[in-house]
């Protein structure tokens, strides 16, 4: 079937070409033209044909093979068989296999989010809700106990994802701040409807409030992650504190604020030892305000203050801030709020 002397790996390609062009009838005559020759090299036997092919491959030249065959009339078919191309395709097949293995190994060995942060992480499509509970006087411990022993389990039962639960370090208003995640707003509404209708939860709520209500006020904010937010991940990363920061953009500067965070701020936070937990924007505008909500982690409040001081003095930040404020016609924010928090003992993120 195959001419003698074909290099390894070329028989398969040669065979495909032959099957494609060879008719049911026998070959009439076969001519080989070695490109670059002054005259065609003709072969009248299998031995001569194999010698021509072997010689062409050795010189890494292209062979123009013309098959003349008879069916009912004479038909002329042309095949280009290129040694260099065959060797290149064989190499590429091996290279791609090696490349895929390398990618799999690399992704398997990437450092965790505790040692590396991505500012270009894939978009998180989940729907988030941040809730703030104000405990009644002397009821903060009872509220924490109900969350720890009952509420988180009922949330999970009804399809809600517990992200984090925190108390402000300075907490005169007896707050508990927590974040839940859902597949969508519709899923959120369905989960809360099922949760409040759950007879088990109703019994727990009634028993816990036998001596009075545990919560005097609830605030809620629906959120979606920004395109530069890292994936929000739970887990215990060791002793640390969290900082909840809320920025209100100045008029017409909401997009400029996000651009500065995307292109500069998040990277500089990482440079100065601050861990980005997540960046969100409210789904519904609060009385026309355009806000950015984000959470950072620090080893301690003192470390957080020192990191922000170094960040504020960084020439890269000064340059980015100056350019962005020149473009925005002044400060990009009209209001900033910062709250240092500690994760509760039952918080999924610590």
- For the chain, give every domain's residue range: 11-87, 127-343
List the Cα angle 19/20/22 in 5-degree steps: 65
pLDDT at 3 over 60: no
Q: Per-residue pLDDT for 149 more than 50?
A: yes
CA distance 214 to 312: 41
Out of 10-24, 105-119, 250-264, give the one with best mean pLDDT: 250-264
Neighbours of 327 (CB within 10 A): 12
CA dihedral 52, 58, 61, 66 (to 10 degrees): 20
Strand order in the sheet with 27-34: 41-42, 27-34, 62-70, 74-82
Q: Which residue has the tokens 């470390």?
A: 303
| Phi and psi, residue 199, nearest 5° | -65, -35
What's the rounded Cα separation, in Å, for the pair 88 and 105?
Answer: 25
Q: Write down the residue that tokens 């709020």 correspond to.
A: 337
* Phi/psi at 189 (5° precision): -60, -40
Higher per-residue pLDDT: 77 or 41: 41
In words, the CATH class of domain 127-343 is alpha beta
| Residue range 112-124: mean pLDDT, rounded | 46
3-state secondary structure of 127: strand
Beta bridge partners of 278: 295
């Amino acid at each position: 079937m195959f001419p003698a002397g074909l290099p390894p790996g070329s028989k398969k390609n040669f065979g495909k070409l032959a099957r494609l062009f060879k008719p049911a009838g026998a070959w009439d005559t076969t001519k080989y033209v070695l490109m670059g020759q002054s005259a065609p090299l003709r072969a009248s036997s299998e031995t001569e044909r194999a010698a021509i092919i072997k010689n062409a491959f050795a010189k890494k030249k292209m062979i123009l093979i013309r098959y003349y065959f008879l069916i009912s009339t004479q038909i002329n078919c042309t095949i280009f068989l290129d040694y260099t191309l065959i060797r290149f395709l064989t190499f590429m097949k091996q290279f791609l296999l090696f490349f895929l293995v390398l990618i799999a190994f690399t992704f398997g060995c990437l450092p965790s989010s505790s040692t590396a942060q991505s500012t270009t992480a894939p978009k998180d499509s989940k729907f988030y809700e941040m809730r703030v509970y104000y405990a009644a006087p002397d009821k903060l411990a009872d509220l924490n106990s109900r969350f720890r022993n009952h509420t988180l389990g009922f949330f999970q039962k009804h399809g809600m994802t517990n992200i984090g639960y925190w108390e402000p370090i300075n907490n005169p208003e007896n707050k508990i701040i927590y974040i839940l995640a859902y597949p969508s707003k519709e899923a959120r509404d369905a989960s809360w409807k099922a949760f409040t209708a759950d007879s088990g939860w109703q019994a727990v709520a009634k028993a816990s409030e036998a001596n009075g209500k545990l919560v005097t006020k609830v605030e809620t904010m629906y959120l979606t992650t920004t395109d530069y937010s890292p994936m929000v991940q739970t887990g215990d990363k060791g002793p640390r504190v969290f900082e909840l920061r809320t920025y209100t953009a100045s008029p017409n500067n909401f997009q400029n604020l996000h651009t500065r965070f995307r292109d500069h701020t998040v990277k500089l936070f990482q440079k100065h030892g601050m861990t980005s937990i997540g960046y969100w924007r409210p789904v519904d505008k609060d009385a026309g305000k355009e806000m950015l909500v984000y959470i950072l982690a620090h080893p301690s409040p003192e470390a957080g203050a020192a990191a922000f001081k170094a960040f504020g003095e960084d020439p890269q930040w000064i340059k980015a801030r100056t350019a962005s404020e020149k473009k925005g016609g002044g400060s990009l924010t009209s209001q900033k709020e910062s709250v240092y928090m500690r994760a509760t003992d039952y918080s999924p993120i610590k």
